[in-house]
Amino acid sequence: MDYFNAFWVGGLICALVQILLDRTKLMPGRVMVLLVCSGVVLSAVGLYQPLTDYAGAGASVPLLGFGQVLWKGMKKAIDKDGFIGLFTGGFTACAVGVSAALIFSYIASLVCKPKMRE
- pLDDT tens, position by position, 31-58: 999 999 999 999 999 999 999 999 988 8
Chain-wide mean pLDDT for the chain?
89
> Phi and psi for 42 in degrees, rounded to 5?
-65, -35
Q: Is 103 helix (H, G, I), strand (E, B) or coil?
A: helix
- Specify the pLDDT at position 54: 93
Task: Tell me which DSSP letter residue 45 carries.
Answer: T
Q: What is the rounded distance in angstroms from the CA atom of residue 35 to the CA atom of residue 32?
A: 5
Contact 93, 73 (CB under 8 A): yes
